[in-house]
Amino acid sequence: MIGVIGTGTYLPAEIRDNRQVGAAAGVSAEWISERTGVIQRHAAAPDEAASDLAAAAVLAACEDAGIPPGRLDLLVLATSTPDELGPATACRVQALTGATRAVAFDVSAACSGWLFAAKVAHGWLASTPGARYAAVVGVEAYSKFVDPAHRGTAVLFADGAAATVLGPVPEPAGFHGFQLGSDGRGAHHVLIPAGGSRIPADAESLRRGLHHIHMDGRAVRDFIVETFPLLVDRALAEHGLDLKDIDAFITHQPNPLLLRTVAAGIGIPADRLHITGDRTGNIGAASAPYALADAAARGRLADGARVLVCVFGAGLTWGSALLTWSGAHSLTTAAAPDRASEPNGRNPR
């Protein structure tokens, strides 16, 4: 079986509370907390890119797993906020971490990205002779793509990274099935309109703020309210389980208040829904793996615990996976690596 054998996270040093964010967005701290449940979020430094955050999380996950980065066979990175449009940010992370033998590439599935990447890594490890270990990392540097004056996005989106190392685990531990889905008819609900081939960057796109995140909040809310219960129902039905059989529900963290409301509506006990978005904000592809690592660190995942992971994001995309926990107990964090200490001694940027 293939499961999670290590976790690692990285949150930038700067913390922005609701008072700071609200002042820029023209709302009160209370307005933010009452509507979202978010209390604070982290923001990357001006010289921190997504690859820096991701590399720190990968190194921490490798330390937790007891696997040197040089033994990784695969490095899959999920993000909506890459260092550049190309090359893959995963290649930057490979250089920063010294994962020299790892095949490195990106997966783009917005806030669902980590689970999509985990599915790719799981299949790759299962089908590639001699491959044993894969790092799967979700990372976002949303603060660099948010208009601070736009209350619909500035109060929610934040920066962070979380990584898992996948490897062999004894049965019954490991992943027991993925269900993934997409509906491109909703692609316009959350997007960064400019900077790609549809609207190339120019003075007009900058003037119109088209390089910031644009979101139809009502449409996204409706999508989550509909999708979260369906993911739970379908996963339970596939595995012949009931709500009471799940020890922890790990989800994307778009809005803690909304998550709690929807979960309560379908009968998920409050003590089994692990919420981290109140302290991190929406960190996109990093949200679910961060919640997984945090739950392990807080002793909420005993060996053999059944974990149901549910994600939903832009695209539209969604997914679920049943994971039997295999004993990656600690939440390991690390500072972003010093570029001067890269294996080849060169700054890749």
Active site residue 176: no
Tokens of 210: 């088209």
Nearest residue to 307 (alpha-carbon basis) of 272, 347, 334:
272
Q: Chain-wide mean pLDDT for the chain?
A: 93
**How much is the average pLDDT of 21-42?**
97
Q: What is the pLDDT of residue 336?
A: 44
Domains of the chain by range and CATH? 2-331 (3.40.47.10)
The residue from 91, 214, 274, 282 that is catalytic is 282
The yes-or-no verdict on residue 338 having pLDDT over 50 is: no
What residues pair up with 140 in beta bridges, in sequence order? 160
Tokens of 254: 């778009």
Q: What is the pLDDT of residue 328?
A: 55
**How much is the average pLDDT of 156-169?**
98
Nearest residue to 126 (alpha-carbon basis) of 181, 179, 74:
74
Q: What is the pLDDT of residue 341?
A: 33
Confidence class of residue 113 from pLDDT cuts 50, 70 and 90?
very high
Q: What is the pLDDT of residue 52?
A: 99
Residue labelled with tokens 């999670």: 4
Active site residue 282: yes
Tokens of 237: 């039905």
Active site residue 252: yes
What's the pLDDT tens digit per position in 79-106?
A: 999 999 999 999 999 999 999 999 999 9
Per-residue CA distances from 55 to 63, 201, 251, 255 (Å): 12, 28, 23, 26
**How much is the average pLDDT of 101-125?**
98
Q: Where does the chain show beta strands of DSSP type E?
A: 2-10, 14-17, 40-43, 74-78, 103-107, 134-141, 159-168, 174-182, 190-191, 214-215, 248-251, 306-313, 317-324, 332-333
Q: What is the pLDDT of residue 326?
A: 86
How many residues are listed for the chain in this entry? 349
The yes-or-no verdict on residue 39 having pLDDT over 80 is: yes
Q: What is the pLDDT of residue 329?
A: 44
What's the pLDDT tens digit per position in 267-324?
A: 999 999 999 999 999 999 999 999 999 999 999 999 999 999 999 999 999 999 999 9
Cβ-contact 94, 104 below 8 angstroms: yes
Helices (H) and strands (E) in the chain, counts: 11, 14
In terms of DSSP bridges, do strands 248-251 and 306-313 run parallel, antiparallel, or are they unpaired?
parallel
The yes-or-no verdict on residue 339 having pLDDT over 90 is: no
What's the pLDDT tens digit per position in 216-260?
A: 999 999 999 999 999 999 999 999 999 999 999 999 999 999 999
CB crowding 187-213: b at 16 or more within 10 Å, else e: eebbbbbbeeeeeeeeeeeeeeebbbb
Q: What is the pLDDT of residue 343?
A: 30
The residue from 62, 252, 255, 310 that is catalytic is 252
Collapsing DSSP to helix, strand or coil, 90 comes out as helix
Tokens of 165: 């190392």
Percent of the chain residues topping a pLDDT of 90: 93
**How much is the average pLDDT of 334-347?**
35
